[in-house]
Amino acid sequence: MVSALLVMAGIAVVLGALLGFASIRFKVKGDPLVDKIDAILPQTQCGQCGFPGCKPYAQAIAKGEAEINQCPPGGEEGIRKLADLLGKEFKPLSAEHGVEKPKQVAVIDEALCIGCTLCTQACPVDAIVGAAKQMHTIVAPLCTGCELCVPPCPVDCIAMVPVPETVETWKWKYPVVPIKLKEPA
Amino acid sequence: MLAALFKFRGGVKPASHKDESTRAPIARAPLPARLVVPLRQSAGGTPLPLVAAGQKVLKGERIGAPEGNFSAAIHAPTSGTVLAVESRTLPHPSGLSAPCVVIAPDGEERWIERTPVNYAAESPDALRDLLRDSGIVGLGGATFPSHLKLKPGAAGRIGTLIVNGAECEPWITCDDLLMRERAEGIVRGIAILRHIASADRVLIGIEDNKPQAIAAMRAATAQATGVEVVPVPTRYPAGGEKQLIRVLTGIEIPYGRIGPEFGVQCFNVGTAWSAHRAVELGEPLVSRIVTLTGNVERPGNFEVPIGTPIDDLLALVAPRADTDRFIMGGPMMGFTLPRTDLPVTKATNCILAASPALFPPTGPEMPCIRCGACTRACPAELQPHELYWFSRAKNFGKAQEYNIFDCIECGCCAYVCPSNIRLVDYYRFAKTSMRALEREKTASDAARQRFEFRNFRTEREQKEKAERLAAKTAAARQAIAGGEKPAAAPTPAATEQTPALPQLDETKKALIAAAIERARAQKEGVQPKNTDNLAPEKLAEIREIEARRAKVREIAKTPPEEPV
Ligand code: SF4
Ligand code: SF4
Ligand code: SF4
Ligand code: SF4
């Protein structure tokens, strides 16, 4: 009886020590939950969620200070993934934060640009090249389509255009044809 | 002398239907009224157009320059005038369009200056560049640029060259006829590819249902050393690259690896033939052999200039009245063409007219009963039913775990499925979706990085600015304390008139005055500077735009008549 107790106590001590060691040895730097949330957010960095970028929004979600349905570029799918990750109820995109749109890129009408550099200061991902009094242009592959550069432009020469589907980016259709229920008349 | 053959697992034996289109020799398709040459005809990027509307081109003139080293050049299939460089619908399952060069042939077929090259005297590098600039891509259907497949490097030396004449897909016979009629040229092309790869051994695999092709190739290779024609058992997909390599050499290439890592590389017979034309005759790839068969009156093979509208070809073979769709490629791996006014590309090996009688519609899709028939048929040794479940549930992570990217989309599984499930469509959906997700992830990771770097940079700039400012203030204070006037002090009187003021106030005042002066000077400098040296037209344009904007603002101010 006593020996059994001793054995059990011994095992408990050893395991406890192991766990303690592991928690120090394998300590994760930063907040893994924030990173997980940030990985789901689309990184458009548009600020529509009410935070200055995706990371701050991720931090707010992790702290429970923001709802999961505030990111329009992420859309329904993003909300679903966040709901899955956090074990929360899915809710539709909050209308006050915007609507889901197809992916766009900004295009500068270069003939009109006066080189005021205001757009470069607005772009969150440094996707615009130019210098004072010089024509500016947007590096399309880097543009996230956040629209932040559009309002500051004093000559309104920035337009958002949808990214067209090409043979390279085209996706095969989902082969399952959904059964349509007849709507009650 | 026959090498012992190996076996690949799975496979099916559909009716081959090769006789229909092998009765007549290869015919030359007439020049159409218009050629539409897509610029993107190979994997790896869209070549940039080198011509503009109105320009005259010669046959074989380069009209598309490969982008980097990853695609192959595009050439004018005949002499004529460029009508337009514009977006046209491609023969692709998406039905999307991409840039094409539209050419009106002048009927003279005037070639560019053709310079034959003695390959034996050239370095492999020079020959690879020549292949790229001659637009040589894999003609088996995958159109992978050949010069990339011949690249040595970390992958290792190619000891064995496999030449693919298996042509395992039913109905298609373009390689069969090419081997029967042009074995000489193919063998010369093989010698070039072999020279580039410096391979010791060449194995030409041909399915044993093509005795004439085997005989012709044997005759053509009788003199060559180290070249062997090997008949392989007829079983679809024996012509799959990995399957043929397995059958001929016993080497099994694992997932994510490529042939050269195991000392083998595989080329189609058509590719070898066009390599011969490109190097030894100086003729770039401007035409290919296309099989026109199925539900048509006069099936056969035609040498077709790239860019010929498929409609023009169909007129040659007269599709029967009950034809309900046209398939590009074979019945197993091909896809239904969205329209028939689309051009022939380097990937078009066959146009198959389908009718309900020839290809009876499969019944409705039933649930998977896990019979395992697909698993037995899969030549890639996958578990198609599992892949189906995961693709259907959009559980892409699991699908990848079950090696969905190993699937060669051969269609064997769908062919044997008793529940009529269009399995390959599910895999294609899953694969393209996964690739799209991958692209999105790469893009969003890059955006995150740039965003974080920008934040870091802004912070650093602010800190540096604050530091500079502090240093300047300190310097100015010191200067004033030392009795000197600051450089930009407003008036000499300022310091003289108030000598009694305490030192601190004195300093402050001087600093503020200096700042105001600086701001004033700056403001003067900042006035509408960038419109100063513009041409009058530009100024007028800007004025016009300003007027337009003013008007828009005006309109925005007035309340809308009808509230929406
Ligand atoms: S709304 Fe914009 S900034 Fe906010 S998380 Fe979504 S993409 Fe990022
Ligand atoms: S270019 Fe404009 S739309 Fe694009 S990321 Fe920058 S600010 Fe956003
Ligand atoms: S904000 Fe407009 S005018 Fe100013 S640099 Fe950008 S594009 Fe040019
Ligand atoms: S299509 Fe893919 S899963 Fe089906 S049999 Fe062929 S390789 Fe296997």
Residue A139 lies in a domain: yes
CB-nearest to A125 from B450, B531, B545 is: B450
For A138-179, write each residue's pLDDT tens digit.
999 999 999 999 999 999 999 999 998 888 888 888 887 655
Whose Cα sits closest to atom 7 in ligand 1?
Answer: A44
Q: Is there a domain that residue B514 lies in? A: no
Q: Whose CA is nearest to atom 6 of ligand 3?
A: A119
Our answer on whether the CB atom of B421 is closer than 6 Å to any ligand 4 atom is no
Question: Does B512 map to a domain?
Answer: no
Ligand number nearest CA of A66 is: 1
Average pLDDT (A47-63) is 92
Question: Which residues contact residue B56 at a Cβ distance below 8 angstroms, ignoring those fewer than 6 apart?
Answer: B79, B80, B81, B82
Are B314 and B442 within one domain? no
List the single residue in A115, A133, A171 with the smallest CB-CB distance to B432.
Answer: A171
Determine the pLDDT at residue A177.
65
- CB distance A123 to ligand 3 below 6 Å: no
B453 close contact with A: CB closer than 8 A? yes
- Indicate whether B510 pLDDT > 60: yes
Note whether residue A184 is domain-resident: no
Confidence category of residue A48, pLDDT binned at 50, 70, 90: very high
pLDDT above 70 for B532: no
Three-class secondary structure assignment of B361-405: CCCCCCCCCCCCHHHHHCCCCCCHHHHHHHHHCCCHHHHHHCCHH
User: What is the tens place of the pLDDT at every residue in B178-232?
Assistant: 999 999 999 999 999 999 988 989 999 999 999 999 999 999 999 888 899 999 9
Q: Is the domain of B323 the same as that of B401?
A: no
Q: Which tens digits make up the pLDDT trace of B445-474?
A: 999 999 999 999 999 999 999 999 999 999
Residue whose CA is closest, atom 3 of ligand 4?
B384
pLDDT given for residue A77 in this prediction: 86
DSSP B133: H
- The last residue of one of the domains, among A45, A78, A97, is A97
Chain A residues near residue B91 by CB distance under 8 angstroms = none
Do residues B50 and B39 lie in contact, with contact meaning Cβ atoms separated by under 8 Å? no
Which chain B residues are within 8 Å of A111, Cβ to Cβ? 541
Residues of chain B in contact with residue A173, where contact means CB-CB under 8 angstroms, are: 429
| pLDDT: which is higher, A14 or B342 | B342
Q: Report if residue A79 sits inside a domain.
A: yes
Query: Do B394 and B325 reside in the same domain of the chain?
Result: no
Residue B218 lies in a domain: yes
**In the block, which residue shows the tokens 């005038």?**
B81
Ligand nearest to the CA of B377: 4
Condensed to tens digits (0 to 9), the pLDDT of residues B403-442 reads 999 999 999 999 999 999 999 999 999 999 999 999 999 9
3-state secondary structure of B473: helix
ipTM for the assembly: 0.80
Picking from B454, B479, B504, the residue at the C-terminal end of a domain is: B479
Which pLDDT value is given to residue B494? Answer: 42
- Residues lining ligand 1, Cβ inside 6 A: A 41-42, 44-49, 51, 53-54, 57, 71-74
* Average pLDDT of the segment spanning B12-23: 91
Mean pLDDT of all residues in chain B?
A: 87
**Interval between CA B373 and ligand 1 midpoint (Å):** 47
Shared domain for A109 and A157, answered yes or no, is yes
pLDDT digits (tens, 9 = 90+) for B235-278: 999 999 999 999 999 998 887 788 888 889 999 999 999 999 99
Would you say A161 and A104 are in contact if contact means Cβ atoms under 8 Å apart? yes
Task: Label the pairing between strands B287-294 and B300-305.
Answer: antiparallel
Q: How sure is the predictor about B29, in pLDDT bands with cuts at 50, 70 and 90?
A: very high
Instruction: Classify B75 as helix, strand or coil.
Output: strand
Say yes or no: A74 and A39 in one domain. yes
User: Is A135 part of any domain?
Assistant: yes
B439 close contact with A: CB closer than 8 A: yes
Nearest CA to ligand 2 atom 8: A146
Chain A / chain B CB contacts < 8 angstroms? 88
Q: Is B549 on the interface with A (CB under 8 A)?
A: yes
Shortest alpha-carbon distance between residue B147 and chain A (Å): 21
Domain count, chain A: 2
Percent of chain B at pLDDT exceeding 70? 87
Average confidence (pLDDT) over A2-30: 81
From A115, A169, A172, residue closest to B425, measured CB to CB: A172
> Which chain A residues are closer than 8 Å to B96 by Cβ?
165-167, 170
Do B382 and B317 have their domain in common? no
CA distance A120 to chain B (A): 11
Q: Which of B479, B513, B548 is the last residue of a domain?
A: B479
Domain co-membership, B459 together with B319: no
Residue B564: predicted pLDDT: 37
Q: Do B530 and A127 lie within an 8 Å CB cutoff?
A: no
Q: Identify the domain containing residue A135 by its residue range.
A: 104-162
Shared domain check, B261 and B305 = yes
Q: What CATH number is associated with residue A157?
A: 3.30.70.20
- Whether B520 is in a domain gets the answer no
pLDDT tens sequence across B34-62: 999 999 888 777 889 999 999 999 999 99
Atom of ligand 3 nearest to the CA of A117: 5
Strands B97-105 and B300-305, sheet pairing: unpaired
Q: What's the Cα-to-Cα distance from B519 to each of A146, B416, B491, B522, rounded to whole Å? A: 34, 82, 16, 5
Q: Flag whether pLDDT at B548 surpasses 80.
A: no
Ligand 3 binding pocket mutation candidate from A123, A155, A156 (most atoms within 8 A of CB): A155
Average pLDDT over residues B162-177: 94
> In 10 A of CB B11, how many CB atoms?
21
Closest-CA distance of chain B to residue A161, Å: 18
Output the CA B442–ligand 3 centroid distance in Å. Answer: 28
| pLDDT grade for B363, boundaries at 50, 70 and 90 | confident
Q: Given a cut of 70, is residue B123 above it in pLDDT?
A: yes
Residue A22 forms part of a structural domain:
no
Whether A20 is covered by a domain: the verdict is: no
> Which CATH number fits the domain that encloses residue A70?
1.10.15.40
pLDDT at B495: 43
Q: Is the confidence at residue A130, as pLDDT, over 80?
A: yes
Q: What is the pLDDT of residue B223?
A: 87
The mean pLDDT value for A121-147 works out to 93
Q: Is A16 inside a domain boundary?
A: no
Domain co-membership, B327 together with B371: no
The answer to whether residues B198 and B347 belong to one domain is yes
Domain assignment of residue B423, given as a range: 366-479
Cβ of A158 closer than 6 Å to ligand 3, yes or no, is: yes
pLDDT for residue B397: 87
Residue B545 falls inside a structural domain: no
Whether the model pTM is above 0.90: no
Rounded to whole angstroms, the maximal C-alpha distance in chain A is 91
Ligand 1 centroid–CA A114 distance in Å is 29
For B119, the token pair is: 């390959």
Boundary-marking domain end, from B354, B376, B395: B354
Among protein residues, the one whose CA lies closest to atom 6 of ligand 2 = A123
Contacts of B94 in chain A (CB under 8 A): 165, 167, 170
Same domain, B388 and B467: yes
Helices (H) and strands (E) in chain B, counts: 15, 17
CA distance B417 to B372: 9
Select the residue of B96, B426, B545 nearest A175 (Cβ to Cβ).
B426
Give the domain CATH number at B217. Answer: 3.40.50.11540
A132, A155, A174: residue with CB nearest B545: A155
Dihedral angle over CA of B334, B335, B341, B345, nearest 10:
-40
Burial class (CB in 10 A: 0-12, 13-18, 19+), A49: buried
Q: Give yes or no: residues B327 and B458 share one domain.
A: no
Residue of A nearest to B91 (CA): A167
Structural domain includes residue B485: no
Of A53, A68, A97, the residue at which a domain comes to its end is A97
Under the banding of pLDDT at 50, 70 and 90, the label for residue A12 is confident
Instruction: Answer yes or no: do A93 and A115 share one domain.
Output: no
CATH number at residue B419: 1.10.1060
Q: Within a domain: residue A77?
A: yes
Q: Compute the distance between CA of residue B391 and CA of residue A73 in angstroms, rounded to an integer.
A: 25
B370 shares a domain with B244: no
Alpha-carbon gap: B97 to the closest alpha carbon of chain A (Å): 8
Torsion angle of the four alpha carbons B291, B293, B299, B300, in this order, in degrees rounded to the nearest 10 = 10
Q: Ligand 3: which of A109, A116, A156 to mutate, judged by most atoms within 8 Å of the beta carbon?
A: A116
> What letter would DSSP give residue B20?
G
Q: How many domains, chain B?
A: 2
Provide the pLDDT for residue A60: 93
Tell me whether residue B548 is in a domain.
Answer: no
B470 within a domain of the structure (yes/no): yes
Fill in the amino acid letter for B318. A
B341 with B439, same domain? no
